[in-house]
Copies of this chain bind each other. A is one copy, B any other.
Amino acid sequence: MKKEVSIGLLGLGVVGSGVIKLIHDYQEQLNHQLGCSVRVKSILVRDLEKAQQINVNGAHITTDFHEILEDPDIDIIVEVMGGIDTAHTYITHVLQSKKSVITANKDLIALRGPELLRIAEENEVDLFYEASVGGGIPLLRSLSDGLVSDNIQKIMGIVNGTTNYILTKMDEDGTSYEDALKDAQQLGFAESDPTADVEGLDAAYKMVILARLAFLTNVDFDDVEVEGISSIDGTDLSYAKQLGYTMKLIGYAECVGEHVDVHVQPTLLAQTHPLASVKNEYNAVYVNGEAVGETMFYGPGAGSLPTATAVMSDVAAAIRNLRLGVSGHSSVSPRFEKADTPKDKQRSPFFIRIHAKDEVGAFASISQLFNKIDVSLERIIQKPKEKDIAEIVLITHTTSVATFEEVLKELKQLDVVTSIESHYRVEGDES
């Protein structure tokens, strides 16, 4: 058996540097646990000059992918370069050359994971991606191995640290969205172009990956309904608080029978729910299993060393499989083809904030409308807003998305309603 395992690293950004540091700092410990030493032999970079300024502990730096692909010494490839097309091509080549791949690339796994997993299986090598969701939280293996005999029914996740940081600041300090975003950018929690985070795409990629593993089914990214946080109004946060809720960007995945519903939306979460206490840049995933009940996994969702820790847990698993000669047996094919949950089966309570004419009978005609469509109301706040306009905030009892959309449509046609200011799903009440 080889006394040393050599790794080829594709990419030398934040996560790549973390991997180099961990392999260096915890060499003795890895050696003890794996029975062999681990080294980064070669690193693929785009910019040689820039790379030479980084301490890579003597690893060879190259801009030529084939130098790494064709090096017979290299046992495992770690892909931390990001992006879709090039990463896809590289990973495909590596798997076909019978080497295991570890990736932190959530976009790629969300969009083309099933295809790549099939290629890995055909070539009897491993493709692991623990770092793609929840940074340092050991999450994917907990779902696939820890809850193997359970029927996971629902996952709710705070899986994007940027938006959680922004919402925490808005909620706790009354900061505006714009200021909270600037703050996040200064602290390094948000990119200079924050679109993928604040518009919910990053969270949606992660929920696709979680839903596939939890429900053992195919989930397409295109089927995920996504709404970001950029248009959230401080007014809604303060009503939410007043009503016992906190606003979170919740990634939601539910499986009922063979129907799967995955969506990412700003959601009013009951303050008593375990996820409500997840603040700032932290991530957490709450899992509801038929047998296990409620479990939650909490931790840093990003960052160099936390994410590198997840990469290294995959590297360790791949090395163990390599040494035992059992690579390529970890992935499980889908149990059934996914079918989207129709809107009349997606159910939750809803929050809605309406501006209406402040005149006699206005509220009566609104509540009549809810009554007609058979949606009952749980909580009502009405107060004068400005001259002639009243602000009405309602929380409905649980109803279907289809029915709620009907409510919205009819409200817009109501003469006394001047505008629908906002509406959100509500989660986490015990009912």
The answer to whether B295 touches A148, judged by C-beta atoms less than 8 angstroms apart, is no
The stretch from A59-67, A202-210, A299-307, A395-403 touching chain B is A299-307
The answer to whether A300 touches B306, judged by C-beta atoms less than 8 angstroms apart, is no
In this assembly, does A226 line the interface, its C-beta being within 8 Å of a C-beta of chain B?
A: no
Chain B: CB-nearest residue to A27: B149
The answer to whether A26 touches B293, judged by C-beta atoms less than 8 angstroms apart, is no
The answer to whether B29 touches A149, judged by C-beta atoms less than 8 angstroms apart, is yes
The answer to whether A313 touches B138, judged by C-beta atoms less than 8 angstroms apart, is no
A33 and B316 contact, Cβ closer than 8 Å, known pairs A298-B296, A326-B326: no
Give a binary string over A128-147; 1 marks a CB under 8 Å from any B CB, 0 the rest.
Answer: 00100000111001100111
Select which of B22, B145, B216, B293 is within 8 A of A300 by beta carbon.
B293
The answer to whether B138 touches A142, judged by C-beta atoms less than 8 angstroms apart, is yes
Q: How far is the CA of A78 from the CA of B296 in the complex (A)?
A: 27
A146 and B150 contact, Cβ closer than 8 Å, known pairs A293-B303, A306-B293, A329-B324: no
Distance of A161 from chain B, by nearest CB (Å)? 12
Q: How far is the CA of A163 from the CA of B329 in the complex (A)?
A: 42
Select which of B30, B298, B308 is within 8 A of A274 by beta carbon.
B298
In this assembly, does A335 line the interface, its C-beta being within 8 Å of a C-beta of chain B?
A: yes
Indicate the member of A146, A297, A306 with the most B CB atoms within 10 Å.
A146
The answer to whether A150 touches B26, judged by C-beta atoms less than 8 angstroms apart, is yes
The answer to whether A309 touches B136, judged by C-beta atoms less than 8 angstroms apart, is no
CB proximity to B under 8 Å, residues A212-255: 216
In this assembly, does A32 line the interface, its C-beta being within 8 Å of a C-beta of chain B?
A: yes
Chain B: CB-nearest residue to A291: B305
Residues of B within 8 A of A137 (CB): 295
Chain B: CB-nearest residue to A273: B277
Q: How far is the CA of A282 from the CA of B273 in the complex (A)?
A: 13
Indicate the member of A141, A142, A310 with the most B CB atoms within 10 Å.
A142
In this assembly, does A420 line the interface, its C-beta being within 8 Å of a C-beta of chain B?
A: no
The answer to whether A30 touches B148, judged by C-beta atoms less than 8 angstroms apart, is yes
In this assembly, does A312 line the interface, its C-beta being within 8 Å of a C-beta of chain B?
A: yes
The answer to whether B149 touches A313, judged by C-beta atoms less than 8 angstroms apart, is yes
Q: How far is the CA of A292 from the CA of B297 in the complex (A)?
A: 14
The answer to whether B294 touches A300, judged by C-beta atoms less than 8 angstroms apart, is yes
A313 and B147 contact, Cβ closer than 8 Å, known pairs A32-B332, A274-B298, A277-B277: yes
The answer to whether B289 touches A294, judged by C-beta atoms less than 8 angstroms apart, is no
Q: How far is the CA of A35 from the CA of B374 in the complex (A)?
A: 48
Q: How far is the CA of A81 from the CA of B23 in the complex (A)?
A: 42
Q: How far is the CA of A393 from the CA of B163 in the complex (A)?
A: 41
Q: How far is the CA of A320 from the CA of B332 in the complex (A)?
A: 12
Q: How far is the CA of A164 from the CA of B147 in the complex (A)?
A: 24
The answer to whether A291 touches B308, judged by C-beta atoms less than 8 angstroms apart, is yes
Residues of B within 8 A of A298 (CB): 274, 294-298
The answer to whether B316 touches A149, judged by C-beta atoms less than 8 angstroms apart, is yes
The answer to whether B277 touches A305, judged by C-beta atoms less than 8 angstroms apart, is no
Distance of A33 from chain B, by nearest CB (Å)? 5
A305 and B332 contact, Cβ closer than 8 Å, known pairs A141-B146, A216-B32: no
The answer to whether B324 touches A309, judged by C-beta atoms less than 8 angstroms apart, is no
Q: How far is the CA of A33 from the CA of B148 in the complex (A)?
A: 8
The answer to whether B148 touches A313, judged by C-beta atoms less than 8 angstroms apart, is yes
Select which of B25, B145, B289 is within 8 A of A317 by beta carbon.
B145
Q: How far is the CA of A136 from the CA of B148 in the complex (A)?
A: 12
The answer to whether B299 touches A293, judged by C-beta atoms less than 8 angstroms apart, is yes
19 contacts between A and B (CB under 8 A): A18-B291, A22-B150, A22-B291, A29-B149, A30-B148, A33-B216, A33-B332, A138-B142, A138-B147, A141-B142, A145-B313, A146-B309, A274-B298, A277-B277, A291-B306, A291-B308, A293-B299, A294-B300, A324-B329
